[in-house]
Structure 1
Amino acid sequence: MKIYHNIDEFKPVKNAVVTIGTFDGVHLGHRKIISRIKELADASGGETVILTFFPHPRMILHPEDESIKLINTINEKAQLLEQLGVDHLIITPFSRDFSNQTAEDYIRDILVNKIGTKKIVIGYDHRFGKDRQGGLNDLLQLAPVYNFEVIEIPEQDIHDVAVSSTRIRQALLESKVDLANEFLGYPFFITGKVTRGDQIGRQIGYPTANIVIEENYKLIPGDGIFAVKVEVDKVLYKGMAYIGTRPTINGTRRNIEVNIFDFDREIYYEQIRMEFHHFVRGDMKFEGLDKLKAQIAQDKIDVLSLLVHG
């Protein structure tokens, strides 16, 4: 897959089959749309093109709203789309100027002249251009003028995409990673850099890698203990992750840390990827480190059982 970080980097391709969207999560609903554009491209000897935007439009149009959290970072999204066999991913920098184009300017300048769209797969509710006034009707009216075909995504499929995205976000915030994974079609994951902690885990026999995620818009699951798999240097290890404020030691800052099983290498400042497979229990305060250590021993037994059986 070729990635373009600006529309001007892209050169029109033969029989471009295009779809547009944020594709946050690249979940099962999105995958139906991607399958459709691949079918159309294969049938016409064309190439698939996804046009997405970064930052997320709401981050630019509503900068005061800090509640916007996304299932994937832009790099994670690109990895997932590449795995699905998309040919071209255009990541357009979203700005107020970009959002102020008229519907016809957007269709003519972006979709036709820049991308060379021959087929566009789009939902009835997709909006674009100044004040989001452009939509499916504009595309249908201008398709014969600019010689492209519009394929509408069925309303039920659009509903499935919207519902899935909402339910995934809500499930993750409630620590229900099993449910989120059902809708995603793959284990939810985070990528981050390992940083030095205060070595409390090491003191009680369960050393942890503390993970820092640079992208503040990345959605983090609710607090608790999770059965995870951790990718370090392309090798996957089992482990148990903790998200929370560490109330037993009166912590206040929210941490993400993981005890990687059968692993004793120092990986400070390395990038790791952590897949969430199961929720084990919520965060809780213990009366001292000895009781915490006893609970963690039980957590490890539970985690291994969960990872073996599913």
Structure 2
Amino acid sequence: MQPGGINGTSDHSFEIRTCIPHCQKFELKEEFTLQLHHNISKLPAFRNAVVTIGTFDGVHTGHKHILNQQKSEAQRISGETVIITFHPHPRKIVSHTHEVQLLNTLEEKIEILSKEGIDHLVVVPFTEAFAEQTAESYIKNFLVRNIHPHTIIIGYDHRFGKDRAGNYLMLEKYAAELGFGVKEIPEKVLNEIAVSSTRIRKAIKEGDIESANALLGYDYFFEANVVAGNKLGRTIGYPTANLHVENPEKLIPGNGVYAVEIKIGEQFFKGMMNIGFRPTVDGSKMVIEVNIFDFDRDIYHTGLRVHVKYFLRPEQKFNGLDALKIQLGKDRLEALAKLK
């Protein structure tokens, strides 16, 4: 499937507006190890820091074009790449909402970015006090004092500081005075990234997992713990592990039956997952349950990861357990065929 907008075959090398006081020749790096920083008062002295800032939720194919540009710039000046992100999500603090639905938890975001060849990830605690600082203070007392950027790569529409008063032009204004450069990510690229994030969330909610995975550039996944269920599945030959997702902000796919891969420890297993209300059984509450193929271990209270690969069918009510069992047999065969 080739979705519109950003996909894995796009080439988004782009020209960007530049305001840089100095530059140096580069040396290519052959190995990358992400260094994680939670305390902004104890940051190391970055070498020619090339900085980009954002929530990076999903770390999808659009984000990776920015990361590639950042890495290219760091190589050009023999510098280090530094991503600044925030936790919790700024929208929770600024909008006072509890309805944030994340494509990636913080831990997942760290894991994904660690595979992208970024040198440093700075996780800034996003508090009301941080949100209330003026745009000028954000530049001088946060960015320059703590990060000492050589170059900041930022979107034309990026806003920061109290009342979102800061923008690219303000950074450009202070660049020469404070000794850093600014590069602007074009509107076209940012629009595609925004569209991709919106489309990914919509697709996951609607069960269109294949479109979501194409835009993400990897299979959507979530972490869960195995909890006790009513053990009905084993009576019809399809024992299931009932799952509880600990992080309430993690976006869960729409109701339906999916072909999945389950990671337990370092092992991967094929399986199928149902998300919904089990209308054939009781329909009283929403559950997430996986049937792991050719698996008979006791994994109660075990943590696992579910990689959501393919949507098989919507959830539906059957005329009794026998009809449900027949359909589950068909689901298993379809899942195995798709997971080959």
TM-score tier, shorter chain, comes to over 0.9
Partner of 1:100: 132
| In 1: Cα distance, 2:159 partner to 2:339 partner | 43
Partner of 1:215: 247
Q: Deviations over 1:51-79 (max 9, x none)?
A: 1111111111223x343211111111111
| Residue identity matched to 2:73 | L
1:41 alignment partner, SS class: helix
Matches within 5 A, 1:1-310: 1-63=34-96, 65-308=97-340
| Residue identity matched to 1:112 | V
| Residue identity matched to 2:300 | Y
Structure 1 stretches of 4+ with a deviation exceeding 4 A read: none
Question: Shift in Å at residue 6 of structure 1?
Answer: 3.1
Question: Shift in Å at residue 46 of structure 1?
Answer: 1.2
| In 2: Cα distance, 1:288 partner to 1:5 partner | 54
| In 1: Cα distance, 2:289 partner to 2:80 partner | 42
Q: Deviations over 1:145-177 (max 9, x none)?
A: 111110111111100110000000000010000
Question: Shift in Å at residue 212 of structure 1?
Answer: 1.1
Question: Shift in Å at residue 256 of structure 1?
Answer: 1.1
Question: Shift in Å at residue 293 of structure 1?
Answer: 1.0
Greater fraction of residues in helix: 1
| In 1: Cα distance, 2:99 partner to 2:321 partner | 34
2:117 alignment partner, SS class: coil
| Residue identity matched to 1:281 | R
Question: Shift in Å at residue 202 of structure 1?
Answer: 1.5
Partner of 2:22: none
Question: Shift in Å at residue 257 of structure 1?
Answer: 1.2
| In 2: Cα distance, 1:162 partner to 1:16 partner | 26
CA separation of 1:214/1:9 partners in 2, compared to 1, >3 Å: closer, same or farther?
farther
| In 2: Cα distance, 1:235 partner to 1:188 partner | 18
| In 2: Cα distance, 1:189 partner to 1:235 partner | 15
| Residue identity matched to 1:225 | V
| In 1: Cα distance, 2:44 partner to 2:230 partner | 51
Structure 1 residues 153-162 or 202-211, which shifts more?
Answer: 202-211
| In 2: Cα distance, 1:210 partner to 1:170 partner | 25
Give the aligned length: 307
Query: Unmatched 5+ residue regions in structure 2?
Result: 1-33
Question: Shift in Å at residue 9 of structure 1?
Answer: 3.4
- Tell me how large the CA RMSD over aligned residues is: 1.1
| Residue identity matched to 2:72 | E
| In 2: Cα distance, 1:234 partner to 1:86 partner | 25
Structure 1 residues 39-48 or 131-140, which shifts more?
Answer: 39-48
Question: Shift in Å at residue 221 of structure 1?
Answer: 0.6
% identical aligned pairs:
48
| Residue identity matched to 2:186 | P
| Residue identity matched to 1:62 | S
Query: Unmatched 5+ residue regions in structure 1?
Result: none
Q: Deviations over 1:109-167 (max 9, x none)?
A: 12111011111110001110001110101100001111111011111110011000000
Instruction: Check conservation: 1:11, 1:114, Cα contact below 8 A.
Output: no
Q: Deviations over 1:275-294 (max 9, x none)?
A: 11110000011122111111
